[in-house]
Each structure stands twice: as structure tokens, then as C-alpha cells.
């Protein structure tokens, strides 16, 4: 049997490979947004870098078409996968120097499942568990992970990409990128960037009535298009009146081409602003509001404009709700099981992403300094949902420091400094990313591990908490927010301090971080 090509080694540190069950390479190229009038025959070696000038190389091999991008990513986009798999099926493997690889499987015009090789258990799509059988037995912890993704592709397609697939003539086609899909009717805010970049606005959106959501989406889109100088364009004005806002794809594509010619940066502001207007045509009020606010925010960032006024406009459209603070009405259950006792966190605004540090000290100022806080700008009150802010309070002989997000807390250096002659513990979780536990003592990192693999701990005493981990039944299943109770229960075992919703209502020192 002819051996498979090591595609990671063949294409280098960044590429995107799609296999489509069809004999029509031209249809696949069109699914990418290919400009067939500019297509040219060439060998794969002539493809070049696709990041600067999007293009795809396609070739039919038997009953399949292989599509290749060097340092490109279009084949991994849902907008492309839906089109190339409209009446068939397709798999895509994408990798770059910055991540370990992505896998996607599409069929009959739907992206069924997609995931990162680092976290194969965090799958998305309309049928995220569709390939569980094919994934069985693959060793996802192996490094490098890219061969595992291609092994999965072989199991799904029944095809082994050999040297013969890559030799010979391809058709190289320039790509005009498809406009972004409108936000789907069903989407998960826990995995949306807006939730983490704008936690106050996101929380207000998630708890607003539909009529307020439509107002917020419209206010965001109008603000962005006015800032981008597009408000007077007839098609924009009509869309803001509710006349087919989703039919702006042609304008998005032309603005995208112009932005690329101008080198990006501020030139992308009009693209994002029009995308915000397109979101007004979405079928679901929450998804539409999320999409419009996120795209409008991106438009302002591209134009390097301050976001404070924009936040005020969106929150005003939502009725200026008070930001979430303290326990937020949640009570802890009187459970004997320590993990169940901390399960309240999964219903709290800290569930999505938080970092909690316990430092055995009474010096709030020392802890603030170690964590990068601005003590001169501190205020007091209950813990409040905010970005780049620490909430600190004393709990017996400990100081508890809480941050929504993970931008400022938890670096090794801070924990080691805080634990000099003492102890410091950190539990950090995210519904869309890493979930970590650190235990530092006497100025050294004693043990550190990811919550899904506590028995693979590192540090000077990596197995120091092994018995506690086993007795608590860790790891827990699910994303980071579902593993948070276990981390907090473990922290309580080490520190004797239980994080409770009532404790969040107590006065805290609220300190902005230096990184703003």
C-alpha cells in the first residue's frame, strides 16, 4: 500500500487542505468564491502564499477533489464548507504556526462538527458528536497533533492522500472571499468573543427582552456606519429602515477587496460596519444583537476609535440595566459534597470565565501590586462584573482576589512571589478555553495542571494533591464552567476558604488592572 504523505511536513507550518467527494473541481473552486475567469493551470509548487492574496489550488483525484491553500484559511470557514459540501460531503484540516490544528466535517450544506486538536472534546456544529465513532482510539495527547487530524480525515473519507494526489497539474484560482454568514438562530454566547471582551454589554444582551435586543442591534449598526462615513449610502439607509439588510453581500465583498488593496487597518472599518448592518436581518433577536454589536465594535477598533461612547449607546438602547454584581440573587446549597457545594458557580456571572486567587496574607496592597492593580484608583463595593478589574477581600488569614476573565491574574511570577514564606492557590476557568489550577508554596510552584488532566501535573511536587483530586472525583466532565466547582472545592481543601455567593456581596477593594 502506498504510504500517506506527511502533509504537515510537505506544506510547512501553515496550510489548509480540504477533501470534497465530487469529480467537479470547478464547482469546488466556485464554492471558495473562486474567480474562474482568472484561473490558471500550474503545479502546486507555484501556488505561493495565500494569506496576502487569497487563492486555492484544486485538482480532481478519482472521485474526490483536493483543495489546497498555503498559509490560507478559507477552506476552514463555514461559509466555504457549506457551499463545497452542498450536495456531498467534505473534510477540512487547517493548521498554522499559532495553533495545533482545526478539523471540520460538512455534509449536505451543513457544518456538522468542528473542533481544535488541542481540545477535541469541545466540538461545535449542528451535529457536534457525529464523528465520535471515527474519533475513538485516536491519541489526541500525542505531539505533534496534526497527524491525528489527518488520520481522522482518512477514517471519514476512506481516502489516503499520497504523493500522487499532489503531483501533476492543479488549477490555481484567485478567491473573492464570501461575506460572513449571519449569526445562526442557535448559537452559544459562551463561545463568542463579545462575551469576554465586553462582559457588561454581553450580560445585558443575554438578559434583555427581544424588543430591546432589536433596538440595541440597530443602534450599534447605525453608530458604526456613521463612524465609517457610510450612513448616507442609499443601500445602508434602506437596510437601517429594515429593507433587506441581509442583501449587502456584494457591498461587503467590494469593500473587502478595497481594504486589501489599501493594506488593511482602518480600511477594514467600513467592511465591519456593513457586516453590522447585515446582522439586522438575522432571524433570532439575541444572535442578531450579538452579531451587530460585535461587528460594530470591530469597525470602531479598526478605525482606532474609543469604545466608551459606543458602549453607552448600546446600553442605553437596552434600557441602561445595572451591571451584574455580588451574588446576583444566587444562593449556595447546603451540600455535604464539596464539589456540589460549589456548583452555584455554574449559574453565576463568573461561570463563563474567571480567575480566583487565594493568598495567605493580610496585606491587600501587596496582593494588588503583585497582580498588576492600580491601588490609587481603587473603589469599594461588592464584586462587580467588569473587564480588567480585580475584586479583593480578606477571608480569615487569606486574601481572595477575583477577576472576570484571565488577563491579569495567575502568572507564575505573581503566584511565586505571593507564596514566598506562605501559600498561594489559583483556580482559573473559561467556557471556551483553558481551565487551570496552580498551587504555589514557599516561593515555588508546587503543582500545576489543566483541569481535564489533573494527573499530568507539573511543578516541584506534581503529585502533592493527587489524593485530594481522586477523593473529589476530578476531573469533571464538560467545558471549563462545568469544571469550576471541582477547582473551587480543591482550593477549599488547600486553603480552608470556601468561595460562596454571599461572600461576593461583601465589601471588596475594586482595583483596575494596569493592562487596560
One digit per residue, the tens of pLDDT, for the chain of length 516 reads 467 888 888 898 899 999 999 999 999 999 999 999 999 999 999 998 888 789 999 999 999 999 999 999 999 999 999 999 999 999 999 998 866 799 999 999 999 999 998 888 878 888 989 999 999 999 887 777 889 999 999 999 999 999 999 998 999 999 998 988 876 656 788 888 899 999 999 999 999 999 999 999 999 999 999 999 999 999 999 999 988 776 798 899 889 888 888 877 899 999 999 999 999 988 899 999 999 999 999 999 999 999 999 999 999 999 999 989 999 999 988 888 999 999 999 999 999 999 999 999 999 999 999 999 989 999 999 999 998 899 999 999 999 999 998 756 667 788 999 999 999 999 999 887 778 999 999 999 999 998 988 999 999 999 999 999 999 999 998 777 889 999 999 999 999 999 999 999 999 999 999 754
Cβ neighbours for 314, distance < 8 A, ≥ 6 positions apart:
201, 204, 216, 219, 220, 293
pLDDT at 407: 58
pLDDT at 78: 94
Residue position matching grid coordinates 494596569: 514
pLDDT at 408: 60
Neighbours of 154 (CB within 10 A): 16
Cell of residue 245, nine digits: 439588510
Dihedral sign (CA 245, 250, 253, 259): negative
CA distance 259 to 272: 11
Maximum alpha-carbon separation in the chain: 73
CA distance 387 to 510: 11
CA distance 380 to 390: 11
Q: Find, among 3, 2, 8, the residue nearest to 142 by Cα.
A: 8
CA distance 355 to 398: 16
Residue position matching grid coordinates 465530487: 22
CA distance 404 to 199: 8
Cβ neighbours for 251, distance < 8 A, ≥ 6 positions apart:
235, 274
Neighbours of 275 (CB within 10 A): 26
pLDDT at 249: 86
CA distance 70 to 73: 8
Helix axes 285-302 and 199-206, enclosed angle (nearest 10): 160
Phi first, then psi, for residue 102 (nearest 5°) are -125, 150
- Helices and strands (H and E) in the chain: how many: 20, 17
Pairing of strands 15-20, 64-70: antiparallel
The domain locations on the chain are 7-174, 189-317, 338-512
Cell of residue 175, nine digits: 478567491
Q: Find, among 424, 207, 403, 416, the residue nearest to 320 by Cα.
A: 207
The DSSP code sequence of 265-302 is: GGGGHHHHHHHHHHGGG-SSHHHHHHHHHHHHHHHHHH
Cell of residue 460, nine digits: 516541584
Cβ neighbours for 104, distance < 8 A, ≥ 6 positions apart:
76, 78, 81, 91, 92, 94, 111, 113, 114, 125
Helix (H, G, I), strand (E, B) or coil at 191: helix
Q: Bin 168: left if φ > 0, else alpha if -120 < ψ < 50, else beta.
A: left
CB 102 within 8 A of CB 116: yes
CA distance 91 to 105: 5
pLDDT at 224: 97
Q: Bin 118: left if φ > 0, else alpha if -120 < ψ < 50, else beta.
A: alpha
Cell of residue 156, nine digits: 471519514
Cα–Cα separations (whole angstroms), residue 208 to 26, 193, 202: 46, 19, 10
Amino acid at each position: 500500500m502506498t504510504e500517506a504523505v506527511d502533509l504537515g511536513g510537505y506544506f510547512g507550518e501553515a496550510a489548509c487542505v480540504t477533501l470534497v467527494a465530487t469529480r467537479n473541481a470547478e464547482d469546488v473552486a466556485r464554492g471558495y468564491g473562486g474567480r474562474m475567469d482568472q484561473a490558471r493551470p500550474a503545479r502546486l509548487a507555484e501556488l505561493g502564499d495565500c494569506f496576502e492574496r487569497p487563492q486555492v489550488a484544486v485538482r480532481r483525484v478519482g472521485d474526490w477533489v483536493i483543495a489546497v491553500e498555503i498559509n490560507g484559511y478559507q477552506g476552514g470557514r463555514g461559509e466555504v464548507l457549506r457551499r463545497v459540501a452542498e450536495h456531498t460531503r467534505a473534510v477540512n484540516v487547517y493548521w498554522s504556526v499559532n495553533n495545533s490544528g482545526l478539523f471540520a466535517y460538512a455534509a449536505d450544506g451543513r457544518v456538522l462538527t468542528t473542533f481544535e486538536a488541542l481540545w477535541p472534546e469541545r466540538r461545535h456544529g449542528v451535529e457536534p458528536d457525529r464523528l465520535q465513532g471515527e474519533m475513538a482510539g485516536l491519541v489526541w495527547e500525542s505531539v505533534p497533533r496534526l497527524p491525528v487530524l489527518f488520520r481522522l480525515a482518512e477514517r471519514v473519507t476512506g481516502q489516503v492522500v499520497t504523493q500522487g494526489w499532489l503531483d501533476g497539474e492543479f488549477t490555481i484560482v484567485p478567491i473573492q472571499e464570501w461575506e460572513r454568514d449571519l449569526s445562526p438562530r442557535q448559537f452559544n454566547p459562551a463561545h463568542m468573543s463579545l462575551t469576554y471582551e465586553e462582559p457588561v454589554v454581553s450580560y445585558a444582551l443575554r438578559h434583555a427582552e427581544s424588543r430591546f435586543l432589536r433596538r440595541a442591534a440597530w443602534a450599534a449598526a447605525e453608530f458604526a456606519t456613521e463612524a465609517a462615513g457610510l450612513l448616507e449610502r442609499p443601500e445602508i439607509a434602506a437596510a437601517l429602515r429594515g429593507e433587506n439588510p441581509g442583501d449587502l453581500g456584494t457591498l461587503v465583498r467590494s469593500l473587502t477587496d478595497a481594504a486589501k488593496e489599501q493594506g488593511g487597518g482602518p480600511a477594514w472599518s467600513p467592511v465591519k460596519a456593513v457586516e453590522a448592518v447585515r446582522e439586522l436581518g438575522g432571524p433570532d433577536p439575541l444572535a442578531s444583537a450579538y452579531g451587530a454589536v460585535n461587528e460594530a465594535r470591530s469597525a470602531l477598533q479598526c478605525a482606532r476609535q474609543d469604545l466608551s461612547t459606543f458602549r453607552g449607546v448600546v446600553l442605553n438602547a437596552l434600557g441602561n440595566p445595572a451591571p451584574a454584581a455580588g451574588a446576583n440573587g444566587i444562593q449556595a446549597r447546603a451540600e455535604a459534597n464539596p464539589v456540589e457545594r460549589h456548583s452555584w458557580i455554574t449559574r453565576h456571572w463568573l461561570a463563563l470565565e474567571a480567575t480566583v486567587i487565594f493568598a495567605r496574607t493580610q496585606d491587600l496592597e501587596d496582593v494588588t501590586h503583585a497582580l498588576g492593580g492600580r491601588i490609587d484608583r481603587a473603589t469599594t463595593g461588592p464584586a462587580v462584573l467588569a473587564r480588567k478589574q480585580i475584586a479583593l477581600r480578606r477571608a480569615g488569614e487569606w486574601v481572595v482576589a477575583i477577576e472576570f476573565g484571565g488577563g491579569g491574574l495567575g502568572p507564575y511570577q505573581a503566584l511565586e512571589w505571593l507564596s514566598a514564606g506562605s501559600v498561594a492557590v489559583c483556580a482559573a476557568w473559561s467556557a471556551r478555553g483553558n481551565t487551570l489550577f496552580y498551587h504555589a508554596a514557599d516561593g515555588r510552584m508546587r503543582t500545576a495542571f489543566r483541569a481535564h488532566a489533573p494527573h499530568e501535573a507539573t511543578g516541584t511536587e506534581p503529585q502533592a494533591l493527587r489524593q485530594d483530586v481522586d477523593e473529589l472525583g476530578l476531573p469533571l466532565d464538560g467545558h471549563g464552567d462545568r469544571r469550576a466547582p471541582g477547582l473551587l472545592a480543591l482550593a477549599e481543601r488547600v486553603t480552608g476558604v470556601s468561595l460562596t455567593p454571599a461572600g461576593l456581596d461583601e465589601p471588596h477593594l475594586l482595583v483596575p488592572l494596569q493592562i487596560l
